[in-house]
Structure 1
Amino acid sequence: MTIEIRPETPADHDSVGDLHAQAFGDPVRVPALVTALRETPDPLSFVAVDGERVVGHVMLSACRLDAQERLVDVMSLSPLGVLPAYQGQGIGTRLLEHALAEATVPLVFLEGSPAYYGKRGFQRADELGFRSPSLRIPPPAFQVATLSSYEPWMTGTFVYSEPFWAHDCVGLRQ
């Protein structure tokens, strides 16, 4: 198996939607979020392909940090998905590393497993002075990666872009 990471193209859209439906077990919410995020300013979207087959996808989209000094442009890493048959082979890690290498913001936030993301450069955001955008996000799941342009004054409340709210993709639901 030879996995290549490359930018997503319009020809990948259907495969990416199917991938997230399988990876998240929900045929509507995450695929709809991805479609909406494609319409936001300057999203970064990458696929992992095995030959011609899309087997993984990650997306970074513009969000804001409401810091005391000023608003700071940051990104959210969401979603990250790998087809179930390809999970556990390092594809998600490769997508994550690629996305972070392409990010040109000081901070990248996500909601996710501390056991997984903590080994890949993310830290609990609340422990670094960041406030969650929702009470439904358990503190250990609200995480941040600080990149090279990060400065210590950049603390405050993370604010998701509208598609996350419109598609009810913030925090845990029953």
Structure 2
Amino acid sequence: MDLREELPSDRPAVRDVHLQAFGDHGLVVADLVDTLRDTITPEDGLSLVAEHDGRVVGHAMFTRSLLDAPRRLVDVQVLSPLAVMPELHKRGLGSALVRHGLGILAQRGVPLVFLEGDPGYYSRFGFAPGDGLGFRKPSLRIPDGAFQAIRLPKHEPWMTGTLVYAEPFWRHDAVGLRDPGAQ
């Protein structure tokens, strides 16, 4: 397996990974990725792929958001989404993508990374519930345990506050859980 930054030629394969991995929610996630990709610059954000036998089989995206801290706004990253082709689950591809991405972001001096996800999975990388670390989630639709953060070496104690997602997360309605029965 090779881990590398996404290339423009990978776009159709990355889209397919998300469509396959997220089932009924795949179209929303794939469209979110297409929009978020335009926000990534060489210095800010990261889109990684896992390639196996010349085929893109996994993807992780880290994009810029803001932490509304008492002292000032702080540039942070959000890990979303992370996907691996279903037939390759439980083989370490997702873990490799997350670890690789966190290593790159730490080298770049990013202080914090946030995500919405399963605490049982993401705790292995050092993610912990955000509220216990002094952070507030950007939406009440995010289950408390799912809102997680990891402090990287450039984090400073004053960096607490509310996560403010980048606009594409709101545009694609990809924040938290919707109640399907709500009107």
TM-score range, shorter chain: over 0.9
Which of 81, 84, 87 is the aligned partner of 1:82?
84
Give the match for residue 134 of structure 2. Answer: 129
Give the match for residue 121 of structure 2. Answer: 116
Q: Deviations over 1:114-161 (max 9, x none)?
A: 000011210100001100000000111000010010011100000100
Which of 56, 60, 63 is the aligned partner of 1:61?
63
Are residue 170 (structure 1) and residue 175 (structure 2) matched?
Answer: yes
Q: Give the letter aligned to residue 160 of structure 1.
A: Y
Q: Give the letter aligned to residue 38 of structure 1.
A: R
CA shift at 1:27, angstroms?
A: 3.8
Q: Give the letter aligned to residue 39 of structure 1.
A: D
Q: Deviations over 1:32-52 (max 9, x none)?
A: 000000111423100000021
Give the match for residue 36 of structure 1. Answer: 35
Which of 62, 72, 75 is the aligned partner of 1:73?
75
* TM-score, normalising length: structure 1: 0.97
Distance 1:157 1:52 in 2: 41
Count of aligned pairs between the two proteins: 172
Distance 1:112 1:29 in 2: 16
Using the aligned pairs only, state the percent identity: 54
* TM-score, normalising length: structure 2: 0.92
Q: Deviations over 1:68-111 (max 9, x none)?
A: 00000000000000000011000000000011011131000000
SS at match of 1:110: strand
Q: Structure 1: where are the runs of 5+ without partners?
A: none
SS at match of 1:28: helix
Q: Structure 2: where are the runs of 5+ without partners?
A: none
SS at match of 2:74: strand
Displaced runs of 4 or more, over 6 A: none
Are residue 160 (structure 1) and residue 160 (structure 2) matched?
Answer: no
